[in-house]
Structure 1
Amino acid sequence: MINPIPLYKVMYQQMGPQHWWPADTKMEIVIGAILVQNTNWNNVDMALANLRDETNLDVKQILALPLEQIQELIRPSGFYVNKSRSLIGVLKWFDHFNCDFPTMVKHYGPSLRKTILTLRGVGEETADSLLVYVFDQPAFISDKYTRTLFTYLGYRGLTNYAKLQKRIALPASFTYQDAQEFHGLLDEFGKRHLKSRKQFSQSFLAGFDRQKMTFKKGSR
């Protein structure tokens, strides 16, 4: 198992707090997490601006719109037909609980992640992003940048999201705030240093000793 905390500490010391996710409200995070799939944030910003102008990102107002109008509003994010259906399904789920996030956490308990994964168009990365940034639950988001970094650090076989996540062991002291910062650090590092292995080799993590992330016997 991998203890990622030494890596987190080094990145935090070198890069400082990232204050992720870039959003004003948790419902904006929910909507953005659906729209950002298979596109970049600039496209999401345009779609969010359209929705904000039309509905102020109010869940009930969005759900009251015709499907065709929602599709047109989110068109800049791409795959707007599928994303519109996913967005409606996810927002209906939140609306059922009046967007009361603590109540939803209490209602679902340990099955919250499993429940999120049953929602249309929601995969593991989106589910964990919602856990961390919306429901304030600690989780490790092993997105593409993160898998690339761990591969460059010498870990093998990280071919998909679940394979890295299953190897990560978070200590009990790891909070949702830590999870938010860690994900922000990993993403920002990826943008700056992971376009190629050569670029990574010139970064402050090039000489990082991955043995620091190995749990010693009896340390857990």
Structure 2
Amino acid sequence: MFVIDPMPLYHQMFKEMGPQHWWPADSKMEIVIGAILVQNTNWNNVDLALNQLRAKTNLNVKQILQLSQAELEALIRPSGFYKNKSKSLLNVLKWFDQADCDFDKLSQLAGTHLRKDLLALPGIGEETADSLLVYVFDQPAFIADNYARKLFGYLGYPTVSYHQLKHQITLPPTFTYRDAQEFHGLIDEFGKIYLKDSNQFNQSFLSHFKLRVVAKE
């Protein structure tokens, strides 16, 4: 079996593009909320929803949980799929609120089952779970989002699912959560510029890049 060593790609992208300082948010709770609202939409729509929710609740979890379903739906409506997202948001925030939004406490309680616990929450899929691991719980993980799948496809390793690409990537023990944040930010910023079609990618600095593939014992 062969797996992909992502480090040469990460180092090349970092060299060319520099640090990205992702995720764009003022607090970890804003990241949690944004990670749910951004599903199936773009960040401009999320910004509109976040601004409305912030004006009403200051993104305070207890204040959000006191909103009626209809109030919350109206506030997050710009993000789309607002009925489902409101239900997901309430369930996820209740989970965080049970530990007074103490991220370290939640991480310690879950231990090695944290990703599994996140996936058990309504509305949390693999991409959102990994995003929360990386940006909220400060744990290294590879986020195999749409831009990542497109990029690795252009580099010669097309994948059909999030799960498939994630399990082809082997992160070294030295890979930190800060590396994971930067790698995700680099891929997404690269994607916005170069991954709309093959012509754009062929004009990028990665057009002739060769991934390093290694045998897995």
TM-score range for the pair, normalised by the shorter chain length: over 0.9
Give, in angstroms, the shift of residue 214 of structure 1: 1.9
Identify the residue that residue 5 of structure 1 maps to in structure 2: 7
Q: Rate the CA distance shift 1:214–1:92 in 2: closer, same or farther, 3 A.
A: same
Aligned 1:76-91 pairs, distance under 5 A:
76-91=78-93
CA deviations over 1:76-104 (Å, ceiling 9, x no partner): 00000000000000000000010100111
Distance in 2, Cα, partners of 1:209 & 1:68? 51
Given the alignment of the two structures, is residue 130 of structure 1 paired with residue 129 of structure 2, yes or no? no
- Unaligned 5+ residue runs, structure 1? none
Aligned 1:7-26 pairs, distance under 5 A:
7-26=9-28
Give, in angstroms, the shift of residue 216 of structure 1: 6.3
Q: Which amino acid aligns with 1:63?
A: L
Q: Which fold has the larger relative contact order, with Cα–Cα distance below 8 Å and residues 6 or more apart in sequence?
A: 2
Identify the residue that residue 30 of structure 2 maps to in structure 1: 28
Distance in 1, Cα, partners of 2:194 & 2:216? 33
CA deviations over 1:51-91 (Å, ceiling 9, x no partner): 10000000000001111000000000000000000000000
Identity %: 64
SS of match in other structure, 1:163:
helix
Distance in 1, Cα, partners of 2:156 & 2:66? 50
Q: Compute the RMSD of aligned alpha carbons.
A: 1.0
SS of match in other structure, 1:215:
strand
Identify the residue that residue 112 of structure 1 maps to in structure 2: 114
Identify the residue that residue 67 of structure 1 maps to in structure 2: 69
TM (norm. structure 1) is 0.96
Identify the residue that residue 173 of structure 1 maps to in structure 2: 174
Distance in 1, Cα, partners of 2:200 & 2:67? 46
Identify the residue that residue 210 of structure 2 maps to in structure 1: 209
